[in-house]
Chain A
Amino acid sequence: DAKTTQPPSMDCAEGRAANLPCNHSTISGNEYVYWYRQIHSQGPQYIIHGLKNNETNEMASLIITEDRKSSTLILPHATLRDTAVYYCIVRAHTGGFKTIFGAGTRLFVKA
């Protein structure tokens, strides 16, 4: 599976949009971009995933560049409860379907 690069930490003001970037320049054509988050001392929570089109659900939006080498997770109106570590993962749906976690981005939402 392709490797991802994320900034180690980011700050965001409560009520503002949080934009979390992810680079995945070696992504393969059959690999999807997944985002999970982990709030302190809990299991990871699925947020969203996509292949090449932008995706939106009740939690977030995922913007994938046309060349698919990077993506951005957008939390439109961040709240204090969104403070967590956010993981960007690329993975195919074939094979073992293993999810390998990198270091992620620690997002601090401040009042």
Chain B
Amino acid sequence: GAVVSQHPSRVICKSGTSVKIECRSLDFQATTMFWYRQFPKQSLMLMATSNEGSKATYEQGVEKDKFLINHASLTLSTLTVTSAHPEDSSFYICSARAGGARGKNIQYFGAGTRLSVL
């Protein structure tokens, strides 16, 4: 299947710093990418939909100024957690939609980034 690469896989940072997470579609172009957050023993929660060349669409309750999303190319979307605090510690997962004949409307997921804010 298609590959979505997410980097870094784990990050530990001090409270108040900003953290950038990258999501790349390695062998297909993704006009739409998605960002999820997952707390321990819970399901994935959709944070936002990232569209190439336009502003991201955030789910209700997700602070757009806190979680900055940039989707500057058809293969790269980034999520920046600004001024991170311990409550932002979570497992962040990106996914990309492989549309059309390639992938037939399948969404592929990255391996996730575990963020720990001290």
Contacts and interface: CB of A to CB of B under 8 A. Distances in A.
Contacts of A97: 32, 97, 105, 107
Given A96-B57, A97-B32, A102-B43, A43 B93 contact: yes
A1 to B, nearest CB: 11
Contacts, number: 52
A32 B106 CA distance: 11
Contact of B109 (A32, A41, A43, A96): A43
Interface stretch (A19-27, A44-52, A65-73, A74-82): A44-52
Interface residues of B, number: 25
B44 A46 contact: no
Contacts of B108: 46
Which size bracket describes the interface of A in this complex? 20 to 34
Contacts of A96: 49, 57
Given A96-B49, A97-B97, A97-B105, A42 B111 contact: yes
Nearest to B4: A43
Contacts of A36: 109
A99 B107 contact: yes
Interface of A: 32, 36, 38, 41-46, 49, 87, 93, 96-104
